[in-house]
Structures are given as structure tokens and as C-alpha cells.
Amino acid sequence: MTSIRKFVYATLLAATSLNFAPSLASAQEKAHGKFTLTHDVHWQNALVPAGDYRFSLDSDGVAGLLTLSKLSGARTGFLLMVHDADEAKPSDPSRLVLRTTPEGSYVSAMQLPEFGITLNFAVPSQATEKQMARTTTMPPASAQ
């Protein structure tokens, strides 16, 4: 009776640990890279100051989380929810798309063709003027 109980316990433990272990098929490379802002911009509800930034995107589920970390000057960080994303064409350039309003520049999109995604952000509905800024992304790390 004791040996049956130990066998059932071991089987249950093995099955549970296999269910919680991450599988290779579900593992995705996070989108990440660097960019430079030459002037302050509005990014959703945040005012992001000019400078060099590193970004990473965690997208597990309906909404993603974009993390910005300032690399130059005073260390600052921003967390932005991403509710709207489209597929990017491989021929698209990596860039931030800015819209100019009377209140200043707003980030309306972040194109990341290396990762096959374009992130879209809300801009106040007023007459806007479109600007572009280049981003540099890091290629996905190869599986080891």
C-alpha cells in the first residue's frame, strides 16, 4: 500500500512539474532595441524627455507592456500599455512615427519589422503633422 501511494505521489509530482515548465514552442524572443529622441515627446499620457533610450516589449496576452529606460542623463523609466498592434512588413523601416500637434509631438506608432510588429498609440484628435525618427533594433538572440 505504501509503495502504491509513493508511486502515485511521484507520478503526480512529475505531471505537475511538466505542466508548469515552459515549453520551447511557447517561448518567444522579446522585442527590444534602442532609439534616440532629439526632443521631448508625448507618449500616451507620459511626457518622455529627449535622450537615448532602451526599450523592450513583453506581449503575453491581449495587451503588451512596453518598457522604456533612459540611458543618457538622469535615469528615468516608463511603462506603457500597448493595446493596438499590427503586423509589420519586412520591408518597413524600424522607426518611431511622430504626430505634431499644437501641444507638441506625440508618438503614434513604433514600427519593428525585425519582430514583425507595429505598435500603435493614441494621439489626441486634432490636425496633426507627421514626422519620422529612426530606431535601431537588436536582432533576436539565437537559440542555444
pTM for the whole thing?
0.66
Q: What is the per-residue pLDDT for 17? A: 42
Angle at 62 between CA 56 and CA 63, to 5 degrees: 40
| Cα Dmax for the chain | 79
| Section 104-113 average pLDDT | 95
The b-or-e profile of 102-121 (16+ CB within 10 A means b, else e) is eeebbbbbbbbbbbebbbbb
Q: Write the pLDDT tens digit of every residue in 118-127.
A: 999 999 876 4
Name the 3-class secondary structure at 60: coil
- Residue spans per domain, the chain: 29-137
Q: What is the per-residue pLDDT for 90? A: 87
Q: What is the per-residue pLDDT for 96? A: 95
As a whole number, the mean pLDDT across the chain is 78
DSSP classification of residue 25: T
Q: Write the pLDDT tens digit of every residue in 41-86.
A: 999 999 999 999 999 999 776 678 999 999 988 889 999 999 899 9
- Cβ atoms of 80 and 119 closer than 8 Å: no
